[in-house]
Structure 1
Amino acid sequence: MDAQRALLDELMGAARNLTEEEKKGYKEISWDDKEVCGSYMIRFCPHDLFVNTRSDLGPCPRIHDPKLKESFEKSPRHDSFVPRFEAELGQFCEKLVMDLDRKVRRGRERLAQEVEVPPAAPVSMEKSEQLSLLEEKIKKLLEQVETLGEAGKVDEAEALMRKVDSLNAEKTSLTQLPQNDKLLITQEKKMALCEVCGSFLVANDAAERTQSHVTGKQHIGYGMVRDFISEYKESKEKAREEERLAREKEVEERRKQRENEVENRSKRSNSGESDRYHDRERDRGRDRHRERDSNRERSTEWSGRGSRDGGRERDWKYNNRRNGRAVDRDRSVETLVLYHLPINYTLEEKGIERVMISILVFCLFLSRFSVIHGLSMNYYGTRGPMVEMMVRNTVNRALDSDPSLAAGLLRMHFHDCFVEGCDASILLNSTKDNTAEKDSPANLSLRGYEIIDAAKDLIEDHCPGIVSCADIVAMAARDAVLWAGGLFYDIPKGRKDGRRSMIEDTRNLPAPFLNSSELISIFSKNGLSIKDMVSLSGAHTLGVARCSSFKKRLQKFNSSHEIDPTLDSSFADTLSKTCNTGDNAEVPFDETRNSFDNSYFIGLRKNNGVLSSDQTLYTSPRTRGIVNAYAKNTTRFFFDFQQAMVKMGLIDVKEGSQGEVRQNCQRIN
């Protein structure tokens, strides 16, 4: 009958018996529908392995159809869906094995208490008969235990084992052996435990029964589950190793590219400086000739007034020398500022002079007011002169190994400052009495804690008890930006580490679905302007977003639109394909995920913002102009970003007795 039904389905379709009205609401099932079991299509479904055993999982709630499986295997999208289905099957299998291993551990602990029964001492005829009766009872009980164990009735088996305990204790008293709290089991029927499927066995049982167990559904099923988990973990480890090698190759290529760019820039700089020098000397020579001719004419026409003209000539010579020094000094300042620009960075000609002047003014501002909010640029001075170098070297080594950690360090500083101020509260571990910020859902994806710990350990070895974890977090974020291609900027230091870290405080963090007005309000409460908010959002030029943070934009967005209308349609398709593998799939914020540049703002103008809180910066009239400016002028973005980072680093800093210098960044002193 089933074969005939399958043939009719193939010839006439599964909806052959439906009325015309019913067919209107009928949807043909495809292999990529949620109702179809992906585990069945790639390997096996665990629900099929343990039918009619004590581990029976019941029928699978999803569809098992050989035709859909065949369609999946022939589909051009097969390879892209295999990782998703394998991950689902791996998660299911790991849960099964975890539950089974708990039972195995409990059984192993009980069986570990076995001891050998010593030879019985000679007893009277009466005691001998009593012992025989006890042994017979124990034997029957153990057989029942075995039967219950095979049937999956573990609780009943344990109850019978307690009766066996009691009988063995009685037997011990008859033979006048010392009392023993351990379980005694007869030598004829000594229990054992199968490490694969958790079944109770008899250690010295017949070979036929042992073979029957090994070929049983439960043993084979759990063997398949364990084998798949081993293969899955091995493949994931192999993929991670390949990714690591690819990252190392990318880092090496970037290093060589930087070296070549440095060399080329040096050659261009030397050539350009030489040309400018010759042009300047030629112009000065022409000026001197014109001035001498003018002086001769004035000397002829204004004879008798040489002293006044001589004074004018001295004034001109003084001014000329002064102006020459000013030109040289301006060139030195320009060279100094350019020195801090990233290697792969092209300065826009329009507006560059104003930006250079702004950078100079900002640097003069910081040097003039070296103490800001109780902090100081040279706070550690002679006590820790190598502190910043130690942090930078630690960060560089880590990012050379894993470039994606740059985004983690930058995000860590942001999440720290927006919750109770920049006090390293993000680093504190939870205790039995308190759940810390670190364990908030908003912070579970943060990375780079080990870099902060490594820098702290290195600093403590050289100058213990001086440098706070809060300062290390701020310096590490700055150094991550520099490593990724951004500007260097000095930061005030002297923050103290906070003693409070509570999960409820993380409500102050901006959510990924906020609009521009809500973002402006949150940043304003922390003393940051609209421009600060937009420039700091540019930190998303580094890193990735998980699909769970923006999937609402891709389906059932609202009653009027299936997809967020502010998303570019082709970009939305790309996001949807990536997120088909699950909520934990990752999407880069822009095309250069590990480089600090203005690609993020260029993407917003194309409606390629990944998060709602990203794209709202361009759709909102209040912030669109700033986005356009940063998309056109990298220099302006870099300068505004470094100013905003310094301001953000001053949010609610702890000073003096308000905080401490932790010995270990993960816990208070």
Structure 2
Amino acid sequence: MALAAAALLDELMGRNRNVAPNEKGKKLNWEDSEYCKYYLVKFCPHDLFVNTRADLGVCTKIHDEEVKKLFAEGKSFKKILYQEEFVRFCQSMINDVDRKIIKGKQRLELKSQTETIPVSAECQRNTEEINTLTDRINSLVEKAEQAGYQGNVDQAQDLMKLCDKLKEERDSLKRIQENPNTSSSSAQVQEKQMEVCEVCGAFLIVGDAQQRIDDHLMGKQHVGFARIKAAIQEVQALIDNIRLKSERPSTETNFKFNRREPRRGDSYHRDRDHNNGIKNNRDSRDKDRNVNRRHFGNNTSSVGPHRNRDRHSHHRHSGRDRDRDRDRNRERSGDQQSPHHSHRR
């Protein structure tokens, strides 16, 4: 009551009704904990089921329309947190209703399968009741005739009225016996005609009057749960859209980073890497050469003298050949000059 009275006074006199003239009013901020998060996102579920079986009680937070407008215009990351909390709370209520619907269907199915009175036993019982009624009717007719003979007209009329009632009852039993499909009890027939509402979980009568069906569809429970289901889909779509927009810029940034143009220093780094690779190849070849020298050092020492001796013999033979050729050339040149010298003499 106090919260309702305070809300009414705020609506009539303003939220700053208790502020002095020389004081400033409090600035509105939708992030304050005193405001209802569910009301800021969409609506407060506590207001949907007042005075019903699904009543959630009075909301302890403030519902302010101006703060709701500030929330809709705001761009803080906390908005998605409020929306997710709203979806979680509403989804928990829908889960409870779904469990209620499942239990109601199981209950109707169980009652439809269990037959309290078999059809054959019921027919036998109807036959016995018909025979009993026939005997009573015959006895009453005899008593009425005797009363008429004795002059008791009133008694005779009363007995005949009673006979008429018994005849009507006997005729109804005969009709039921002739149609065994309609011989089930009225309670069973009523249960078989029941169904469960897929929105709020209430029990409905199949083929009920249209006025009662309309009253149910316009009731607080049915309208409230239908509104909650629609709000869950709408708010969840907003959350997915916000997450998609937040993930898209990071993907574009990574693509630009991977496809960036070469910078000025990239050629220097490539040349340096190339030179380092050549140097490493040279070092590896030098290492292999040193290893081969160390491995074959002893063999070269034993073969060295033979190679030197062959080299000296080769030089010696080549020198002799050159001297022999020189002498031959001199002899040829001497033979050619001798006739001239003799002629001059």
Give the structure-1-normalised TM-score. Answer: 0.28
Choose the corresponding residue for 1:9, options 14, 33, 52: 14
Per the alignment, residue 204 of structure 1 pairs with: 207
SS at match of 2:198: coil
Aligned: 1:227 with 2:230: yes
Paired letter, 1:9: G
Unaligned runs of 5+ in 1: 130-174, 178-183, 281-323, 330-669
Partner of 2:80 in structure 1?
Answer: 83
Change (3 A) 1:34 1:328: farther
Per-residue deviation, residues 10-37 of structure 1 (Å, max 9, x unmatched): 6xx232489x9xx9xx977743211110
Structure with a larger share of its residues in helix: 2
For the residue of structure 2 that corresponds to 1:54, the secondary structure is: coil
Deviation for aligned residue 1:106: 1.3
| Distance verdict in 2 for CA 1:254–1:108, change over 3 Å | farther
CA contact (8 A) 2:49 2:56 kept: yes
- For the aligned residue pairs, the C-alpha RMSD in angstroms reads 4.6
CA drift of 1:255 comes to 3.8
**Residue 94, structure 1, aligned to residue 122, structure 2:** no
Change (3 A) 1:43 1:186: same
Kept after mapping to 2: 8 A contact 1:189/1:202: no
Deviation of 1:108 after TM superposition, in Å, equals 1.8
SS in 1 for 2:188: coil
Q: Sequence identity of aligned pairs in percent?
A: 29
Deviation of 1:94 (Å) = 1.2
Q: Which runs of structure 2 are paired with 1:574-585 in the superposition (5 Å)? A: none
Aligned with residue 192 of structure 1, among 189, 195, 198: 195
CA distance in 2, matches of 1:82, 1:127: 76
Q: Distance in 1 between matches of 2:29 and 2:251?
A: 41
2:137 paired residue number? none
Matched, 1:103 2:108: no
How big is the shift at 1:78? 4.8
Q: Structure 2 unaligned runs (5+)? A: 133-176, 181-186, 288-345
Counterparts of 1:494-643 in structure 2, within 5 Å, are none
The CA deviation at 1:233 is: 3.1
Correspondence for 2:39:
40
Q: Tell me, what secondary structure is at the counterpart of 1:185? A: helix
CA gap 1:272/1:212 in 2 versus in 1, 3 angstroms: same
Contact 2:34–2:62 (CA<8 Å) still a contact in 1? yes
Q: Please say if residues 189 and 204 of structure 1, whose CA atoms lie closer than 8 Å, have aligned partners that are also in contact.
A: no
Structure 2 match to 1:271: 271
Shift of 1:110: 1.5
**One-letter amino acid of the structure 2 residue matched with residue 8 of structure 1:** M
CA contact (8 A) 1:49 1:221 kept: yes
Quick one: higher RCO (CA 8 Å, sep 6+), 1 or 2?
2
Is the Cα–Cα contact under 8 Å of residues 80 and 239 in structure 2 kept in the other structure?
no
Show the 5 A alignment for 1:422-437: none
Pairing 1:378-393 to 2, within 5 Å after superposition: none
Which is higher, the Rg of structure 1 or of structure 2?
2
Deviations along 1:478-515, whole A, 9 cap, x unmatched? xxxxxxxxxxxxxxxxxxxxxxxxxxxxxxxxxxxxxx
Among 214, 217, 224, the residue aligned to 2:220: 217
CA distance in 2, matches of 1:7, 1:92: 32
For residues 277 and 42 of structure 1, what CA distance do their matches in structure 2 show?
64
| Aligned-residue offset at 1:43 | 0.9
CA distance in 1, matches of 2:232, 2:32: 25
The Cα of 1:205 is off from its aligned counterpart by 1.3
Q: Deviations over 1:282-307 (max 9, x none)?
A: xxxxxxxxxxxxxxxxxxxxxxxxxx
Partners of 2:217 and 2:223 within 8 A in 1: yes
8 A Cα contact 1:47 1:58, kept in partner: yes
Q: Tell me which amino acid in the other structure corresponds to 1:222.
A: F
- Work out the CA distance in 2 between the residues paired with 1:248 and 1:5: 49
Distance 1:87 1:202 in 2: 38
TM-score by length of 2: 0.50
